[in-house]
Amino acid sequence: MEHGISTLSLVPMRKEAADRAEQVSQLLFGECYSVLNTQGNWLQIELATDKYRGWIDQKQHTPVSPDYFKRWCSQPHPRVLGLLQTVNSAQAAIPVGIGSYLPFFDGVNLRINEESYQYGGQASNPEQEATEAQLVKVAQSFLKAPYQWGGKSVLGVDCSGFVQQVYGVCGYQLPRDAYQQVEAGEEVHFATQTRPGDLAFFSNPEGRIIHVGLMLERQQIIHAHGEVRIDTLDHTGIYQADRKRYSHQLRLIKRIIPG
């Protein structure tokens, strides 16, 4: 089986093998994947992190050896903490955003295949356990990021991509979509009992999970809805004071980090 890694800031993952197909997710810089199928100039891939599948343009594929892929998967990697930084190679300065991966980073150098890259910004410590304060700080760094279906970047993010990236930067891997994320953690029964870092899930009239946000102090919630914004949560759902209306109906709340 062939494997690859993203050496670009962002690579769109599409539902089907076509430029016009729906973007379902994105590859971030330094993120590894396996190639499952080919169709013309398109590759169907599966991410090494969350097993999410989609199609990428073959022109945006950088192969890695089976040995590199195995070692990449065998350990956690630091993530970019600054909103927008650069990773430097011998050929170019590559823009990278918060959440991008820094494979085999030693504090200065990272490695993709046999090539060395340099990074001088802040990086996460993947060995450090996530704390409520850390989750809140990372989440708030995404404020005003525009909503983008399938996005995982501060330049465009959807609700579950936002939550996944916040937890990922803090060293905790969540699934990609909200309906998958709702299976994690332990239920919190009342909105008044939430703690920072808890996840609140919201459903449509048919009961399907369609939205997720991350709780802050005093029943505030940060979520991607038009933009990453802060609203208020009560037993009904998300109340947007500036618009004087509820935007989402609460289904349940989950605590991902026990304690």
- Confidence (pLDDT) at 258: 83
**For residues 204-227, average pLDDT:** 97
In sequence order, what DSSP letters do the residues of 14-57 get, joined into one string? ESSSSTTSPEEEEEETT-EEEEEEEETTEEEEEETTT--EEEEE
User: CA 99, CA 86: separation in Å to the nearest integer?
Assistant: 13
pLDDT score of 127 more than 90:
no
Dump pLDDT digits (tens) for 222-238.
999 999 999 999 999 99
Map residue 186 onto helix, strand or coil.
strand
pLDDT score of 40 more than 90:
yes
Dump pLDDT digits (tens) for 160-203.
999 999 999 999 999 999 999 999 999 999 999 999 999 999 99
* Under 8 Å between Cβ of 194 and 219: yes
The confidence band for 129, taking pLDDT boundaries of 50, 70 and 90, is confident
Map residue 199 onto helix, strand or coil.
strand
- Confidence (pLDDT) at 163: 98
CA proximity to 188, closest of 129, 230, 135, 251: 251
What b/e sequence results for 72-102 when a residue is b if at least 16 CB atoms lie within 10 Å of its CB, and e otherwise?
beeeebbbbbbeebbbeeeeeebebbbbbbb
